[in-house]
Structure 1
């Protein structure tokens, strides 16, 4: 596996590749990331992963400075998973000057849910992903990029970005990987204390209960949705969580659903100092 730090070196390494498969990450890799890498293996002629902790998608009070950087361990995991090229730029490599040109996603999709509680988050995500796409896929007729379905709204935003910019890319979703008790795997799970780790599964359980209630109320969903969500929020709050949202939305655009819509339930909540997200399609 080649480890590359600059865009010119990356483009040179991929000069003979016709359709790379790309897995962008922020490192501190877990089995969910590695499942994406294995899924990507047959989808292109060169398998590229990136590791870059992107300052643009962190709010000032968030964990950019303390986010785990574990490059050597991550490189060993990627090598074992069959990765061909690891692109691990520094901030200076990826942003040699202030990134004043940014990708502004559709506010109807990007300013709700995660975007409401983390304003500017999706602008930072879209900007760095567009730059990574430019580095990996420049001059390619076709490519594939893989993202985990745990970040459900992010996956939708990036799919819309690729569609609207007519990028010659397929965006492929990877199924959310879970621990044995049902907790969605996340790099931030490492922040949890032992007691918090035992409690953390309650987020996925709350979403399952909300999904069950939404199915039961399918014919009266618009009228019942807020009551169902309030009950789910109260249940988590009563256990000491600080939830941002637990909500039922339609899959197509994450807007409030009508009866008969295909549904997804999504949640984000803070347990101690750790913010966790999860979702479940109904």
Structure 2
């Protein structure tokens, strides 16, 4: 299996005559691959003739330098996992200089307000960094289909908005959250948790599931108060936010509207590691 380290090398491969009419599936990641990433790759393999996986820890979407420094980088292990799945997958693992060409700053994007909710409130500039790298990767790979997990549901909606506003020719496919046996949403950050914290973190999905049940008969505000109260019972966790928002606009739900789709969004810290999750409240 060949790992492409420059966009020029990757584009030479993709532009070969025998590849030009083939559908390209693309899975962008920051590495530290887990079963959730592999499920995205499996879907791409089933729906496209060519699958490209990018592994790049993008510095412009981190507003915390320590978080960037500690983010797991496991390229060798990642490549072995991909090779085991399918040796024909093209892996693009560029350097910062290959992507940003000596100008490591993000472009400012307008996502019609989607960027100002939840993660945007707590991580200033984060979605400018996301938009910058996703747009660059789309320009390099030129995929037919691109696959994103719903664990980062706000990011998924922002990528859809980016594609629509910039008229990028790619089909964005959202894929269900892949969970550990305990219910904890799979994330590269889970690898930084101690064994006890990882076990304890199943609480996040348990409380989200209870919130979903309560949303059937309770107001959005009542459900938010319930979640906040539950986390206060568990001092190892620090709840950054829990919000109920409309799926399309990501605006906070003040009063439920019939036939509108809502989700519960959460961010919590345990062992100073930030975990996010969400749940459909249909």
Report the TM-score when normalising by structure 1: 0.92
Relative to structure 1, the CA distance from residue 128 to residue 263 in structure 2 (aligned partners, 3 Å threshold; closer, same or farther) is same
Does residue 244 (structure 1) correspond to residue 243 (structure 2)? The answer is no
In 2: Cα distance, 1:68 partner to 1:60 partner? 15
Quick check: 2:60–2:106 contact (8 Å CA) kept in 1?
no
Q: Pick from 254, 257, 260: which aligns with 1:259?
A: 257
Question: Which 5+ residue runs of structure 1 have no aligned equivalent?
Answer: 218-223
8 A contact 1:242–1:270 mirrored in 2: yes
Matches within 5 A, 1:143-162: 143-162=144-163
Aligned to 1:220: none
> Does structure 1 residue 230 correspond to structure 2 residue 235?
no
**3-state SS of the aligned residue for 1:86?**
strand
Structure 1 CA distance for aligned equivalents of residues 35 and 272 of structure 2: 23
Please give the per-residue CA displacement for 1:132-172, whole angstroms capped at 9, x wherever unaligned.
111101xxxx6110011111100000011111111110011
Deviations 1:42-70 (A, max 9, x none): 22221100000000011134411121111
- Where do residues 179-218 of structure 1 align in structure 2 (5 Å cutoff)? 179-217=180-218
* SS of the residue 2:77 aligns to: helix
SS in 2 for 1:151: helix
User: Contact 1:4 / 1:88 at 8 angstroms: preserved in 2?
Assistant: yes
Moved more, 201-210 or 97-106: 97-106
Answer whether contact 1:40 1:146 (CA < 8 A) is retained: yes
TM-score by length of 2: 0.92
For residues 179 and 89 of structure 2, what CA distance do their matches in structure 1 show? Answer: 26
Structural mapping, 1:78-227, within 5 Å: 78-82=82-86, 83-100=88-105, 102-106=107-111, 108-137=113-142, 143-217=144-218, 224-227=219-222
Q: Indicate the SS of the match to 1:105.
A: coil
In 2, Cα distance between equivalents of 1:156 and 1:195: 33
The superposition leaves residues 104-123 of structure 1 with CA deviations (integer Å, 9 ceiling, x where unpaired) of: 13261111101111111111
Per the alignment, residue 41 of structure 1 pairs with 45
RMSD over aligned CA atoms reads 1.5
Q: 1:71 aligns with which of 59, 71, 75?
A: 75
Deviations 1:82-115, CA, capped at 9 Å, x for gaps: 2521000011111122145614132611111011
- How far apart are the structure 2 equivalents of 1:225 and 1:178? 25
TM-superposed deviation, 1:259? 2.5
8 Å Cα contact 1:46/1:84 also seen in 2:
yes
Counterpart for residue 4 of structure 2: 4
Point out the more displaced range, 25-34 or 62-71: 62-71
Work out the CA distance in 2 between the residues paired with 1:14 and 1:253: 36
CA distance in 2, matches of 1:226, 1:27: 37
Q: Which runs of 5+ in 2 are unaligned?
A: none
CA distance in 2, matches of 1:99, 1:53: 13
> In 2, are the aligned partners of 1:214 and 1:248 still within 8 Å (CA)?
no
- In the alignment, which of 26, 32, 35 is matched to residue 31 of structure 1? 35
Distance 2:36 2:106 in 1: 31
Instruction: State whether residues 24 and 48 of structure 2, in contact with CA within 8 Å, keep that contact through their aligned partners in structure 1.
Output: yes
Q: Which moved more, 1:204-213 or 1:145-154?
A: 204-213
